[in-house]
Amino acid sequence: MALRLAARLNCDAARPNGAAEPPGLFGAGVARGAGDAAACGEGSRCRACGMIRALEHADLHLIYPVPSGDWEKDLPAVIESRREDFFAYGEFGTRARSVGIDLVRHVIEALSKYPFEGRRSVVVVFEAHLATAEAQNALLKILEEPPSSAAIVLVTEYPDRLLPTILSRCYEVRFEPLSNERTAEILERFRSVEREEARRIAAIAQGNLRRAVKLLEERFLGLWRDAAVTARLVIDGKGKELLAEAETLARRYSREEARELLAEMSLILGFVLRGRDGRLDAAGEAVLREALGAERLGRAAERDVPEDIRKMALASESLRRNADLELTLAHLLLDLTGAWY
Ligand SMILES: [Zn+2]
């Protein structure tokens, strides 16, 4: 959608009735009757859309989180990899990534120039929640006084991890999850996944395409399985095994991955909650049975799941603030079993 928006603002065919000015984002140019205001989205019809589609437009500035250090080498490498496969993921393995202050300075510099093609500069910050506090503060300054020739898009699954001051400066556009059927279709068509496997993964991904694509990867699938194993131990109340588990997980995963693991555990417990309220479809029930084992579903449903999820969110936040990985996990897991007291 961010790219569609960039195309919309720069499409040669969308200039209403040959007007000199491109249509504004929310302005009069968008009004019905102003001519063909939608982006053609086709490289064959218009150069701008083709360039945006190929991630090569001079006024399209893409920002991806990268490991700290050499962003001038890493950022172009990520963009190059996205040109080949827009849903590529994990080129930095377990290394922690962030949108640092250097990247935001890069954005500021890009925006200080008038758009090359004379229309709108569009900045898209992917995984904006990985922006450091320093970077978010710098970003806030641009959002407070954005150049009129620019549109800035922050893409995130976790808007609550952005500063409230940033959120208050943005138009928030939320997207509904995709249906399992649609997710499976996309996996089949663009990822050549077998039909049955695509449906299984779609059910686990719960309408989140990025997760679905990640679940095709061995490492993330392993992480999901570890989340399920850990959730089982929590439900069984096995304090001693959980301490060993915390140690294993801390050795196996980076801080960032451990946060993903906690997010996956929260999702599994979210399934429990929906199952209890009768809001889980058959595919979701199958995923839940696979994750926890049928014999645990009754006990899982008796838990105070919102409280569990709250505790995991707090632990995840501690990890973001560089708390010790093993200690945080051990504390959390024991806390979840009640074995701590
Ligand atoms: Zn176009």
- The string of pLDDT tens digits covering residues 200-250 is 899 999 888 888 988 988 888 999 999 999 999 999 998 889 999 999 999
Integer Cα distance of 165 and 180 in angstroms? 35
Same-domain check for residues 206 and 222:
no
Q: In the predicted model, is pLDDT for residue 39 greater than 70? A: no
Assess whether pLDDT exceeds 80 at residue 319: yes
State in Å: Cα 160 to ligand 1 middle: 34
Verify that 123 and 190 share a domain, yes or no. Answer: no
pLDDT band at 17 (very low <50, low <70, confident <90, very high): low
pLDDT, mean of residues 31-47: 57
- Distance from the alpha carbon of residue 25 to the mean position of ligand 1, in angstroms: 16
Token couple for 125? 């910050």
At 192, phi and psi to the nearest 5? 50, 40
Residue from 142, 81, 82, 133 nearest 111 by CA: 142
Q: Which two tokens stand for residue 32?
A: 């019905």
pTM over the 0.85 mark: no
158 DSSP 8-state letter: -
Asked whether residue 289 is assigned to any structural domain, the reply reads no
pLDDT tens track for 40-97: 766 667 888 889 989 999 999 999 999 988 999 999 999 999 998 887 777 887 788 8
Rounded distance from Cα 234 to ligand 1 centre (Å): 53
Residue 272 domain boundaries = 217-284+297-337
Compute, in angstroms, the gap from residue 8 CA to the centroid of ligand 1.
7
147: CA distance to ligand 1 center in Å? 23
Q: How far apart are CA 311 and CA 162, in angstroms?
A: 20
Q: For the sheet containing 150-154, what is the strand order?
A: 60-63, 121-125, 150-154
Ion ligand 1: residues, CB within 5 A, are 11, 13, 40, 46, 49
Residue 194 has pLDDT above 50, yes or no: yes
CA 78 to ligand 1 centroid distance, Å:
25
Per the structure, the count of domains in the chain is 4
d(CA 274, CA 217): 27
Q: Is residue 290 assigned to a domain? A: no
Do 200 and 226 reside in the same domain of the chain? Answer: no
Give the CATH number for residue 276: 1.20.272
Whether 201 and 231 map to the same domain: the answer is no
- The Å distance, Cα 50 to ligand 1 centre, comes to 7
Place of tokens 């960032």: 256
Distance CA 165, CA 309 (A): 25
Do 125 and 161 fall within a single domain? Answer: yes
CA of 87 to the centre of ligand 1 (A): 23
Whether pLDDT at 177 is above 80? yes
Alpha-carbon span 185 to 234, nearest angstrom = 35
Instruction: Give Cβ neighbours of residue 12 (< 8 Å, ≥ 6 apart).
Output: 40, 46, 47, 48, 49
